[in-house]
Amino acid sequence: GAGVSQSPSNKVTEKGKDVELRCDPISGHTALYWYRQSLGQGLEFLIYFQGNSAPDKSGLPSDRFSAERTGGSVSTLTIQRTQQEDSAVYLCASSQLIRDNQHFGDGTRLSIL
Amino acid sequence: AQRVTQPEKLLSVFKGAPVELKCNYSYSGSPELFWYVQYSRQRLQLLLRHISRESIKGFTADLNKGETSFHLKKPFAQEEDSAMYYCALSLFSGGYNKLIFGAGTRLAVHP
């Protein structure tokens, strides 16, 4: 069956540009999470969605970061005015119920020049 | 503050040797801990969680609340165990499951 799908798999952009990362969770999974993995670091929690609402945005590093989820399915993470420190792998995960195992996508590798 | 520490970035062993990947956590509540694994060119996947008390692919992990540790062990390493291993702490509060990850340990098993 289809797992969590993320696109693009790689994104290279210039500093100052906006980028949009997409996550398509497993069908029927109500919980969706975004994490970031910077070089040499563990995964860092960014934001959580339950349905279309985001009860916890505390992990978003700055106001340049925003995320939305529509139809209880696809989510987009937007980074405005990108900076070099935004370079990382952005991972999305989904779970059917809150305490279920989180299933991860392959991630989007973002490189800011 | 909640934290997960994996002190080794790289653990290199020979096939058949015992393996112990260390994980320590800092959390004032009742911890729920996980080990995730990422094989080369594959996505991150759950290996085991402490509440299941399972042995997956020969790996086990015991929660030691006194030492705040959740070390991952395998008595005889195999080459196919070579991967990146992440320990994670679940903060189930506010009605959702927020995972705090360690920095990861790369396990290299040599023939």
DSSP 8-class letter at A60: -
Sign of dihedral through CA atoms B50, B54, B60, B65?
positive
- Cα dihedral angle (A79, A81, A85, A89), rounded to 10 degrees? 30
Between strands A43-50 and B3-5, the pairing is unpaired
Q: Which of A96-100, B24-28, B41-45, B79-83 has the highest mean pLDDT?
A: B79-83
Chain A residue with Cα closest to B6: A42
Structural domain total, chain B: 1
Q: What is the CATH number of the domain that holds B63?
A: 2.60.40.10
Of B43, B94, B103, the CB nearest to A55: B94
What is the domain partition of chain A in residue ranges?
Answer: 5-108
Q: Is the pLDDT of residue A1 over 70?
A: no
Interface contact flag, A91 B44, Cβ < 8 Å = yes
- Which residues of chain B make contact with A105, given a CB cutoff of 8 A? 43
Architecture of domain A5-108: Sandwich (2.60)
Each residue's pLDDT tens digit, B63-74: 999 999 999 999
Q: Is the pLDDT of residue B50 over 90?
A: no
Chain A residue with Cα closest to B105: A42
Most A-contacting residue of B26, B41, B56, B101 (CB-CB within 10 A), to test interface: B101
B94: left (phi over 0), alpha (psi -120 to 50) or beta: left
Domain of B62, in residue numbers:
3-110
Q: Is B45 on the interface with A (CB under 8 A)?
A: yes
